[in-house]
């Protein structure tokens, strides 16, 4: 990885992409410290002092602290993620959208992207109004009139729109997927607090603690094992052999070729985790809009709220955590299958193999090839989806250890490692495209 990065800086075009990405990341981090107009920062610090738990803590983690500062990026990129899920789901039930997704080509993808952005603006408007109404009675706003509300909502919407633009620019002119990169940067910005937590476990009372040292070692070793497992699964693939017979192209006879179809064990990457997290926390966000003090309430909606935030806090009964973990696991599995089949169509792959005169050894061309690919892919997805779910759920148990408030859970590590691997792979692809001699050697 380090060799790839070193060689990338030796190539002018790739170096330009890296520096451009770093510049946009700096802009994102600066925006995390720009508070929206009309906010009393002193009252804000007091109101957000307990934002380390629940839905607020999860949003604050993803946004890199922007939520606790009530900055223009407080809503982070979650409205865009939610709108992407909605558009993908609508594409499965609305024939015109389904046709646009499958047969629209580049123009179809551009239209779907435009629909996603329009829906993002609408969701950002709803979420912005909800945040203003939620914190209206907390005293963090200098005034609570219509003008203040208008400025707050417009600022939050502008921040989300700017993040969408930054994500597009990183994807088109930088390195990696822009949306994933923004989430990646937001998460790793919490690394200093994680280091501070480890230090406090060992020297919390200015005296060496053997129990704290053992706990810290267990956390560090567990994180290393977790990262190694994530890297292994992200890189693992099943290679389906494909043979092409001799054929005449023009006046030349093209010889037989042997190749393979690489099927990743975790083909969907970290997207099922991101989708499932957004889906699980959405009810809590909606409930908080209408019942600001829901955390102190009792009843049906309070139970739904506690169930929704159980993924991100230990301040709820164990029963809610267990129920949340089960639903979270099922959602991750479901989104793993959904996202993979949305990006990889076995029937289309089998048809392309048949058109080019190819076949999988021992499998007839056409429908048998489709069935075979679907069978292999299904087995891989079950394993990959269960791995993602276990990695995301097990670290939830760590929160029940006293004095441990990890900034990096299983979901965070999956996203960070997945985005890092994707970025390195793109760097390698860019270097190969430019025939960089030092890399190819």
pLDDT digits (tens, 9 = 90+) for 2-58: 677 777 777 788 888 889 999 999 999 998 888 888 887 777 777 666 554 445 555
Q: Between residues 138 and 158, which one has the greater pLDDT? A: 158
Contacts of 325 (CB under 8 A, 6+ apart): 310, 311, 393, 396
Instruction: Check residue 384 and give its pLDDT.
Output: 85
Mean pLDDT over residues 354-379, rounded? 85
Q: Are strands 252-254 and 257-264 parallel, antiparallel or unpaired?
A: unpaired
The pTM for the full model equals 0.72
What band does 326 get if pLDDT is binned at 50, 70 and 90? confident
Is the per-residue pLDDT at 314 higher than 70? no
Instruction: Check residue 340 and give its pLDDT.
Output: 85
Largest CA distance in the chain: 83
Residue ranges with strand state E in 229-376? 237-244, 247-249, 252-254, 257-264, 358-359
Element (H, E) at 113: helix 105-135
Instruction: Check residue 284 and give its pLDDT.
Output: 74
Write the pLDDT tens digit of every residue in 254-279. 556 778 888 888 787 777 877 787 77
Q: Where are the domains of the chain?
A: 1-188
- Tokens 């802009």 belong to 27
Mean pLDDT over residues 350-372, rounded? 84
Q: Taking CA 181 as the corner, what is the angle to CA 177 and CA 182, rounded to the nearest 5 degrees? A: 125
Q: 3-class SS at 260?
A: strand
Mean pLDDT over residues 304-330, rounded? 75
Tokens at residue 322, please? 């267990």
CB 219 within 8 A of CB 398: yes
- What would the CATH number be for the domain defined by 1-188? 1.10.3370.10
Q: Which of 206, 209, 163 is nearest to 182 (CA)?
A: 163
CB count in 10 Å sphere of residue 96: 9
Instruction: Check residue 315 and give its pLDDT.
Output: 63
Write the pLDDT tens digit of every residue in 168-200. 899 888 888 888 888 888 888 877 777 777 777
Q: Are strands 358-359 and 257-264 parallel, antiparallel or unpaired?
A: unpaired
The distance from CA 357 to its chain's CA centroid, rounded to whole angstroms, is: 39
- HEC states along 408-440? CCHHHHHHHHHHHHHHHHHHHHHHHHCCCHHHH
Q: Between residues 270 and 87, which one has the greater pLDDT? A: 87
For the chain, state the CA radius of gyration: 24
CB 83 within 8 A of CB 164: no
What band does 407 get if pLDDT is binned at 50, 70 and 90? very low
Tokens at residue 336, please? 């793993």
Q: Between residues 297 and 407, which one has the greater pLDDT? A: 297
């Amino acid at each position: 990885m380090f060799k790839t990065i070193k060689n990338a800086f030796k190539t002018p075009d790739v170096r330009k992409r890296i520096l451009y990405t770093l510049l946009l990341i700096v802009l994102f981090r600066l925006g995390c410290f720009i508070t929206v107009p009309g906010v009393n920062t002193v009252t804000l610090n007091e109101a957000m002092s307990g934002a380390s738990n629940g839905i607020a803590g999860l949003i604050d983690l993803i946004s890199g602290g922007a939520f606790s500062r009530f900055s223009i990026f407080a809503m982070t990129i979650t409205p865009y993620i939610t709108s992407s899920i909605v558009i993908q789901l609508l594409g499965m039930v609305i024939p015109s959208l389904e046709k646009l997704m499958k047969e629209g080509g580049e123009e179809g993808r551009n239209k779907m992207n435009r629909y996603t952005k329009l829906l993002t603006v609408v969701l950002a408007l709803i979420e912005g109004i909800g945040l203003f109404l939620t914190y209206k009675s907390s005293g963090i706003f200098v005034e609570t009139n219509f003008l203040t509300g208008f400025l707050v909502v417009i600022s939050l919407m502008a921040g989300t729109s700017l993040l969408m633009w930054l994500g597009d620019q990183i994807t088109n002119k930088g390195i990696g997927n822009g949306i994933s990169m923004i989430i990646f940067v937001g998460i790793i910005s919490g690394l200093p607090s994680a280091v501070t937590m480890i230090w406090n476990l060992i020297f919390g009372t200015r005296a060496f603690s053997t129990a704290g040292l053992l706990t810290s070692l267990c956390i560090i070793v567990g994180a290393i094992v977790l990262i190694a497992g994530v890297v292994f699964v992200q890189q693992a693939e099943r290679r389906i052999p494909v043979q092409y017979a001799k054929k005449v192209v023009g006046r030349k006879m093209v010889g037989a070729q042997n190749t393979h179809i690489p099927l990743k064990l975790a083909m969907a990457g970290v997207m099922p985790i991101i989708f499932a997290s957004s889906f699980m926390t959405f009810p809590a966000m909606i409930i908080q809009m209408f019942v600001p003090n829901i955390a102190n309430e009792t009843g049906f909606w309070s139970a739904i709220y506690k169930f929704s935030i159980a993924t991100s806090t230990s301040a709820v009964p164990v029963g809610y955590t267990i129920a949340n973990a089960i639903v979270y696991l099922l959602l991750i599995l479901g989104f793993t299958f959904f996202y993979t089949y949305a990006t990889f169509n076995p029937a289309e792959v089998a048809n392309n193999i048949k058109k080019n005169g190819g076949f999988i050894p021992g499998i007839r061309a056409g429908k048998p090839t489709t069935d075979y690919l679907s069978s292999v892919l299904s087995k891989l997805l079950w394993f990959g989806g269960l791995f993602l779910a276990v990695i995301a759920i097990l670290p939830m148990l760590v929160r029940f250890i006293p004095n441990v408030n990890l900034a990096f859970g299983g979901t965070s590590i999956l996203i960070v490692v997945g985005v890092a691997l994707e970025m390195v792979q793109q760097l390698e692809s860019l270097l190969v495209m430019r025939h960089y001699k030092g890399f190819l050697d």
